[in-house]
Structure 1
Amino acid sequence: MIDPFQQMNEWRKNLDQFFGENFWNDFESIIKPNIPQINMYKTENEILCYVNVPGMRDINQIEIYADHTTLELRGNIHLDYARGSVVREEILQGNFDRKIQLPYPVRSDKIDATYQHGVLIIQLHRLISDKSSRNKVNIRMLEDE
């Protein structure tokens, strides 16, 4: 009897030899979507990032770093469910470490981050000078209204 996983690995090796070792990397974002999901909006001097991070009770669960033209997010999305077995699970969970390219350099001394209703909002301001420094961003928890 042929092992289907061994056969799949053989196919992958053959495709790697034919297309190159990085062939599967192009499909990784399709197969494994990025978490957390992000919407980014820019004006001439400001960038707003809306980050989907459900269930965060402790703002120290997420680390935000801004460095010149890169925004880095690290943390864990974990939803507690009451009981029972999963029937459908569409909200992505788990550890994440995302680096997002920004449309222009940002100031590391003027960044604001707030969290409310499962959305982390990061406000960045355009950098006029060229010096770069990586700083951790503090998040403020907003009370539910």
Structure 2
Amino acid sequence: MDSWSKMMEWKQLADKYMNQSFFPGFDDKKQSTGPHVNLYESDNELVCVVSLPGLKNIDDVEVYVYKNAVKLIGNTNFHVSGMSVRQDEIFQGRFEREIDLPYSVRENPIEAYYRKGLLYIRLYRLLTDERKKKKVEIKYEDD
């Protein structure tokens, strides 16, 4: 769990305990210091979808995968020429974000691609020694 998620969890507990907002006026819309992430799961596969609007160069983002986490480091910048910002809700700027995964993943294959403002990272479950033992059937062969 990244630091921001821990803080948000703490805030929710404080809000519940006090029966009111612990940080009045806190803007939950910009709750992350990095891009928003969705994580999708099937039996042996994870797909991490990262919102990165305005990314002009794919080299502006680095993805690191290790054991049961994905780390994103990068920079996104976009603006409308000749205008000042009136409302700022879409994250932009330098970020470093770590996403905890529900289980360890394999080193290979890992697929990542960027399309229509979204970065997709496809990961596969690492099978560990904790899995059930499978009995192997022995067939008898005559000479």
Q: TM-score normalised to the size of structure 2? A: 0.67
The 5-angstrom pairing of residues 31-110 of structure 1 reads 33-34=31-32, 35-110=34-109
Two-structure CA RMSD over aligned residues (Å): 2.1
Q: TM-score normalised to the size of structure 1? A: 0.66
Q: CA distance change for structure 1 residues 90 and 30 in 2, over 3 Å: closer, same or farther? A: closer
- Structure-1 separation of matches of 2:29 and 2:38: 20
- 44-53 vs 86-95, which deviates more? 86-95
CA distances 1:13-47 after superposition (whole Å, capped 9, x unpaired): xxxxxxxxxxxx54499596222100101111000
Q: Is the 8 A contact 2:53 2:117 kept in 1?
A: yes
Query: Which residue type is aligned with residue 42 of structure 1?
Result: E
Query: Which residue type is aligned with residue 113 of structure 2?
Result: T
- 85-94 vs 68-77, which deviates more? 85-94
Instruction: Specify every segment of 5 or more residues in structure 2 that has no aligned partner in the other structure, as ranges.
Output: 1-6, 12-25, 130-143
Structure whose CA Rg is larger: 2
Give the number of aligned pairs.
Answer: 106
Give the share of equivalent positions with the same residue, in percent.
Answer: 38
CA distances 1:42-93 after superposition (whole Å, capped 9, x unpaired): 1110001110001111111000011010110110121132112212121111
Q: Which runs of 4+ in 1 moved over 2 A?
A: 25-32
- Structure-2 separation of matches of 1:104 and 1:93: 30
